[in-house]
Amino acid sequence: MVSKVTNIHVTGEAASQITIGRGLFSAVPEALGELVKKVLIIHTGSGAKQATALREQLQEAGYQALLAEVPDAENAKRIEVAAFCWQILGQTDFTRSDAIIGLGGGAVTDLAGFVGGCWLRGVKVVLIPTSVLGMVDAAIGGKTGINSAEGKNLIGVFAAPSRVLCDFETLQTLPRNEILAGFAEVVKCGFIAEPEILEILERDVAVASNPNSAEFQRLVELAVDVKAQVVSADFRDSSQREILNYGHTLGHAIEHSERYQWRHGVAVAIGMVYAAELGRLAGNLSERVVDRHRSILESLELPLSYSAARWEGLLSIMQRDKKTRAGMLRFVVLDDIAKPRILAGADHTLLRFAYDEISR
Ligand code: GLY
């Protein structure tokens, strides 16, 4: 079992430190800094045991530590839930020198970041993601937000956490299919920027996807590093950050079409195979790299295809997506591994041909 601790930094406007390792609850006081006296730990019912343990530890260290239990998954990302958290902050006189801790999966860290980013126009936020997806994507980079009746993540603020603690101890009880779904974002980082990720997965996927292995830690470090570099260069999503959406244009449409009952990574896996086929048909990506998408994602037990009958519906969802500009669909495609580019306004016939390659 690995016990190494690594630190990766996001620089610039979103400056933050991401610590990766094991047994990191003991690092929370140092992450909070000297001025903080009071913390609100936002968590779900399934994370209640971990949250209670953390609260006790912080109380022993002299902090006033409060808990806010919120609903699981996307149900946490509602304005009523954010208001419940703000009510606790108001009733306990939270000041600018107090802090929020978000302990949970991507939905909890999105909510906690939003709650902290709005309270008093921004208080310190420390995130402890407890899923692979949270560690390599959601908790890093300060995209926070909640959903509304009109759509996902439509309400939010850019508010970077000051620290992110990726503690592999928190993954011990995570179901295997959750871990594998989170790997879609790791694979994404491999294709858009870091070929070593793909090589590690191809060497021995069982070892690489085991949270107790050194290979797992290396993969998380590499994926976090990719995200940290992109966010350091483009915190506000005005240019380079768009490459993190590789596989997400179709992936988001599939999630929508499945009424958000599918895991994000499962939809993104199909979306990446689609983006790879689009990159091939649009001219530059080799068949060998497209095949590599399929073989790596399949080795992680992720799906590679989707219903042929759903194309028209998916196209119309993609056209309504908030990332579509002036009615022109935008896809991140690859010219090669680590060579992403934007394909904007592609002909619908081409989009359909690429879909034929992944539909059943
Ligand atoms: N999850 C994509 C981003 O953070 O930009």
Interval 8-13 mean pLDDT: 97
Q: Which of 114, 185, 229, 241 to mutate to test the pocket of ligand 1 (most atoms within 8 A of CB)?
A: 241
CATH assignment of 6-173, among 3.30.420.10, 3.40.50.1970, 3.40.50.2000, 3.40.50.620 = 3.40.50.1970
Q: Which residue's alpha carbon is nearest to atom 2 within ligand 1?
A: 244
Q: What is the CA radius of gyration of the chain?
A: 20
Q: Torsion over CA of 195, 201, 207 and 208, rounded to 10 degrees?
A: 50
pLDDT of the residue at 150: 81
Lowest mean pLDDT among 3-12, 144-153, 201-210, 303-312: 144-153
133 pLDDT above the threshold of 90: yes
pLDDT tens digits along 71-99: 999 999 999 999 999 999 999 999 999 99
Distance CA 198, CA 189 (A): 9
Give the residue, out of 109, 110, 137, with the most ligand 1 atoms within 8 A of its beta carbon, to mutate for a pocket test: 137
Question: Which pLDDT score is estimated for 321?
Answer: 75
Pocket of ligand 1 (CB under 6 A): 137, 141, 143, 237, 241, 244
pLDDT of residue 326: 72
pLDDT of 281-322, one tens digit each? 998 899 999 999 999 999 999 999 999 999 999 999 998 876
- Counting from 1 in the atom list of ligand 1, the atom nearest the Cα of 230 is 5
| Residue 143 pLDDT | 97
Residue 146 Cα to ligand 1 middle (Å):
15
| pLDDT, averaged across the chain | 96
Residue 27 pLDDT > 60: yes
pLDDT at 225 exceeding the cut of 80: yes
Residue 66 has pLDDT above 60, yes or no: yes
* Ligand 1 pocket mutation pick from 18, 153, 158, 227 by most atoms within 8 angstroms of CB: 227
pLDDT band at residue 339 using 50, 70 and 90 as cut-offs: very high
Sorted by where each begins, the domain ranges of the chain are 6-173, 202-210+213-356
Residue range 112-128, pLDDT digits in tens: 999 999 999 999 999 99
Question: How many whole angstroms from 160 Cα to the centroid of ligand 1?
Answer: 12
CATH level 2 (architecture), domain 202-210+213-356: Up-down Bundle (1.20)
Residue 2 has pLDDT above 60, yes or no: no
Q: Which pLDDT value is given to residue 218?
A: 98
